[in-house]
Amino acid sequence: MTTEKKIICIICPQGCNITVKGDLDKGEIESIEGFTCKRGKNYAENEFIHPLRILTSSVKVEGASAPLVPVRTRTAIPKELLFKGMEEIRKITLKGKVECGDVIVENFLGTGVDLIASGSVEAK
Ligand code: SF4
């Protein structure tokens, strides 16, 4: 089945509006229009077939100077895993000091990407 997605290219400030048509089940692109350069074409192709996002959220911390610490995936993960990722993050409770860059969960959701702290809290 043909799907059409309108994608705003975020590679440079020009923000070209790119339209991609294709079959997502087969991972095939039928047409792509609106890009101005090869980088934008590549971005739109990837965004159509396999969109990725960095997941950002907060994790509960007990016995620390703040009740939450911000976290994020080190790099982007498949967009379809964001909801499941938020559910997993809600189950986590850390204790005491957390430093920015600490690995909170290795290989988060089997993506090969770690969930890391993007802020710090001190132990109480
Ligand atoms: S398609 Fe090329 S020119 Fe247009 S926004 Fe993307 S990178 Fe910039």
Contact call for residues 43 and 57 (beta carbons, < 8 A): no
Q: What is the pLDDT of residue 3?
A: 95
Residue of 8, 18, 39, 42 to test ligand 1 pocket, by largest number of atoms within 8 Å of CB: 39
Determine if the pTM surpasses 0.85: no
Q: What is the pLDDT of residue 124?
A: 86
Q: How far apart are CA 74 and CA 55, in angstroms?
A: 9
Among 8, 30, 10, which Cα is nearest to 20's?
30
Residue 7, ligand 1, Cβ within 6 A: no
Contact call for residues 15 and 9 (beta carbons, < 8 A): yes
Q: What is the pLDDT of residue 31?
A: 97
Domain spans, the chain: 2-50, 56-117
Q: Which pLDDT tens digits describe the chain residue by residue (124 residues)?
A: 899 999 999 999 999 999 999 999 998 999 999 999 999 999 999 999 999 999 999 999 999 999 999 999 999 999 999 999 999 999 999 999 999 999 999 999 999 999 999 999 999 8
Residue 37, ligand 1, Cβ within 6 A: yes
Half-sphere exposure of 118 (CA within 13 A, CB side): 14
Q: How far is the CA of 75 from the centre of ligand 1 (A)?
A: 22
Give the bridge partners for 98, in sequence order: 121
Superfamily of domain 56-117: CPE0013-like (3.10.530.10)
Burial of 117 (0-12, 13-18, 19+ CB in 10 A): buried
- Look at the alpha carbons of 40, 44, 46, 50 in this order and tell me if their dihedral is positive or negative: positive
